[in-house]
Amino acid sequence: MSTLILRRLVVAGALLAPSAATAASLVIVTVSAPDINCVFDTDCTITVTDSIGDIPIPALTAGAARLQSRTFTGQPGSQAAGKTGYEYRVDLSTAVTSNEFSCVTDLAIDFGAVTKLHYDRTRPQDDAFVVTQGGLGTIGILFAEQTGNVITFTFSQPVCAGNTPGTGQSTFFFGLASEFAPKAIIAHVGVPGELPVDVKARAPSHPRRPVPLALPDQPPASDQPPASQPVSAPGEPAPSR
């Protein structure tokens, strides 16, 4: 394989293989509402934009499984001035299943770089927050990891549909901030026994970050041209190697 082809394959692998990067754990704190609003507005009042993406879970007979995306802008004078806040909630509260269980376990979002802030008003700065008081939901985040641009939130327990109306579950709102404005994306939700399912969401319109790959040491290139091989004359035996 030529050196040029090898280099092209290395570059392609760096752009297309985020799994080669090391996952970094995010620092998550618990907060209450409306106190969390004060990070984004000095009046502690925020104007939000909500969107809903349906989660395709098998065996639902009524209701819906949904991913709620919520965004809001940090106002002048606030800690998050000029930044965008992002919150998410996985909601199966109205979903009814005919199976013994129909659940989701995690959410993966192409988010890019996280803006750290003092969400719980202590130091050091935090990556993300979970609204465990004053908001909707009952299920939190066990941990969150970022590999390249993608952040995966693993829930503290599966979020499941109910066997009767109104008995399904929901996560708390959980969120983080970015320097970039929102755009429509496709997120991925983990469903036990199934491949991750695609769900409409919103996330930062961040620049792409190539993920570097570790390569084995290569011998230094020689400045000398390759040695020529003797060529046999017609009818003569070929030179030995």
Asked whether residue 12 is assigned to any structural domain, the reply reads no
pLDDT of residue 217: 55
pLDDT class of 21 with cuts at 50, 70, 90: low
Asked whether residue 11 is assigned to any structural domain, the reply reads no
CA dihedral 43, 40, 89, 134 (to 10 degrees): -40
Q: Judge whether 121 and 86 are in contact, CB under 8 Å.
A: no
Q: Judge whether 17 and 10 are in contact, CB under 8 Å.
A: no
Per residue in 63-89, is it b (16+ CB within 10 Å) or e — as a string? bbbbbbbbbbbbbeebbbeebbbbbbb
Beta bridge partners of 107: 153, 189
Question: Does residue 240 have a pLDDT over 50?
Answer: no
pLDDT of residue 16: 42
Question: Does residue 9 have a pLDDT over 60?
Answer: no
- Residues of the chain with pLDDT > 70, as a percent, come to 78
pLDDT class of 178 with cuts at 50, 70, 90: very high
pLDDT class of 218 with cuts at 50, 70, 90: low
pLDDT digits (tens, 9 = 90+) for 93-144: 999 999 999 999 999 999 999 999 999 988 789 999 999 999 999 999 999 9
pLDDT class of 211 with cuts at 50, 70, 90: low
- Looking at the structure of the chain, the number of domains it has is 1
In order, the DSSP letters of 117-151 are B-TTS-SS-BSEEEEEESSS-SB-EEEEEEETTEE
Asked whether residue 5 is assigned to any structural domain, the reply reads no
Asked whether residue 46 is assigned to any structural domain, the reply reads yes
Nearest CA to 113 among 36, 23, 207? 207
- Residues of the chain with pLDDT > 90, as a percent, come to 73
Asked whether residue 139 is assigned to any structural domain, the reply reads yes
- State the pairing for strand pair 28-32/128-133: parallel
pLDDT of residue 124: 86
Asked whether residue 209 is assigned to any structural domain, the reply reads no
pLDDT class of 210 with cuts at 50, 70, 90: low
Question: Which residues span the domain enclosing 171?
Answer: 33-204
pLDDT of residue 232: 43
CATH of the domain at 149: 2.60.40
Asked whether residue 23 is assigned to any structural domain, the reply reads no
pTM (predicted TM-score):
0.79
Asked whether residue 225 is assigned to any structural domain, the reply reads no
- Lowest mean pLDDT across 1-10, 103-112, 169-178: 1-10
